[in-house]
């Protein structure tokens, strides 16, 4: 009945009063704190442990990317990328690298690899997130 409600609201002058009372506010905060406290076990020490646990939470994106990187489809891109890194690193250790007019980089190889990984990760990632 949102339409009727809107209509009534448009006609009837209703200033949205300030907060009804202070009390419900406090109630909210208390109520919000309680489950948290319960979950954390109440004690401060245990909360710290909780924090540590949270730091250990594995990001599904990292796991998925790793999995996709090792998949059959992305194998050749990994190969090209690794080869490029090897080539460029070798080149950069040569004498006179700093003065070189053109220095190769591995951006393109990285893009191809990342593109492959993305295509594999993207359809699955959001199923693992809230």
Partner 1 sequence: MFKSSILRNINSSMTQKIIAGSVGVTGLTASYMLYQDSLTASAMTAAEHGLHPPAYGWSHNGMFETFDHASIRRGFQVYREVCASCHSLERIAWRNLVAVSHTTTEAKAFCEELEYDDEPDDEGNPRKRPGKLADYIPNPYENEQAARAANQGALPPDLSLIVKARHGGCDYIFSLLTGYPEEPPAGVALPPGANYNPYFPGGSIAMGRVLFDGLVEYEDGTPATTSQMAKDVTTFLNWAAEPEHDDRKKWGLKAIIIVSSLYLVSIWVKRFKWQPIKNRKYRFDPPKK
Partner 2 sequence: MSFITQFFQRNSIYVATIFGGAFAFQTFFDVTVTKWYENHNKGKLWKDVKVKFLEGAGEEEDDE
CA distance 74 to 84: 15
Q: Does 127 bind partner 2 (CB under 8 A)?
A: no
Contact by Cβ (8 Å): 117, 74: yes
Residue 64's closest CA among 109, 130, 122?
122
Residues 14-53 that bind partner 2 (CB under 8 A): 16-17, 20, 24, 27-28, 31-32, 34-35
| Residue 64 neighbours by CB under 8 Å, 6+ apart | 120, 121, 124, 125, 128
For partner 2, the binding residues (CB under 8 A) are 1-4, 9, 16-17, 20, 24, 27-28, 31-32, 34-35
- Summarize as ranges the residues that interact with partner 1 (CB under 8 A): 16, 19, 24-25, 28, 32, 36, 39, 51, 54-55, 57-62, 81, 84-85, 88-89, 92, 101-111, 114-115, 118-119, 121-123, 125-127, 129-130
């Amino acid at each position: 009945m949102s339409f009727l409600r809107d209509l009534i609201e448009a006609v009837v002058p209703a200033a949205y009063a300030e907060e009804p009372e202070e009390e419900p506010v406090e109630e909210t905060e208390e109520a919000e704190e309680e489950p948290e406290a319960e979950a954390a076990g109440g004690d401060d020490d245990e909360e710290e442990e909780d924090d540590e646990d949270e730091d250990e939470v594995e990001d599904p994106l990292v796991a998925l990317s790793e999995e996709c990187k090792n998949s059959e489809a992305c194998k050749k891109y990994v190969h090209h990328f690794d080869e490029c890194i090897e080539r460029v690193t070798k080149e950069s250790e040569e004498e006179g690298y700093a003065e070189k007019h053109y220095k190769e980089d591995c951006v393109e190889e990285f893009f191809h690899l990342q593109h492959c990984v993305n295509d594999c990760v993207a359809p699955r990632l959001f199923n693992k997130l809230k």
